[in-house]
Amino acid sequence: MTDSVRHAENMARSEIAAVGKSLFNRGLTFGSTGNISVRLEDGGWLMTPTNVSMGELDPARLSRFDAKGNHVSGDAPTKEAVLHMAMYGQRQDAGAVVHLHSSHSVAVSMIEGIDPDDVLPPLTAYFVMRVGRMPLVPYWPPGDSQLARAVEKLAGKHHAVLLANHGPVVAGTTLANAQFATEELEETAKLFLMLRGMAIRPLTEQQVDDLRLRFDLK
């Protein structure tokens, strides 16, 4: 491993710990829930370990995977590593993945009759820009291979999906982008729940199309 590659990995370790602490301190994750991963320059990954609070991550003990997806060092990985691998396998542009059990997003995932192809309406421009259309993944137990396969089927067209009765999985070109998209999703879910029962005025189809064209959104 060259000095530059080693430095980049150390920076990624520090960033994962800092983002985890920020998410935990602001109540977006709790207990030992949620996980973060980052793709490394050598094709491997760093991931938060199992049964560890995101508010107390030790950069040196993060789970390290090689380019083939084998766990090679660090603490035992989360059982939800398969969700991250499903995203990376379908999205070559993904540099990081954030998975949370954030309360408002989970609440939306449990609403009866919600559109499984597009869970939230385009309430704001930034939701369209950072998240876009977000499908609902049917419920499977955490860590189940069927859940990973369900995510894999959608990941090629969607960088953000919502797991029924579980929470969001969001990929980004960088960890910052994945974090910001996850936070935008949680705030939009909060707005959606606040507005339940009211007549709302989401962005029109034309306004959404304009944003997609203006910012080259896929």
CATH number at residue 64: 3.40.225.10
Write out the catalytic residue numbers: 80, 126
Report the pLDDT value the prediction gives residue 1, as an integer from 0 to 100.
Answer: 72
DSSP characters over 81-130: HHHHHHHHHH-TT--EEEE---HHHHHHHT-TT--TT--S---SHHHHHH
The domain tally of the chain equals 1
Report the pLDDT value the prediction gives residue 217, as an integer from 0 to 100.
Answer: 87
- Name the stretches of the chain with pLDDT < 50: none
Report the pLDDT value the prediction gives residue 2, as an integer from 0 to 100.
Answer: 82
214 burial (CB, 10 Å; 0-12 / 13-18 / 19+) is exposed
pTM check: above 0.85: yes
Report the pLDDT value the prediction gives residue 4, as an integer from 0 to 100.
Answer: 83
Report the pLDDT value the prediction gives residue 5, as an integer from 0 to 100.
Answer: 83
Q: Which domain holds residue 52?
A: 3-214
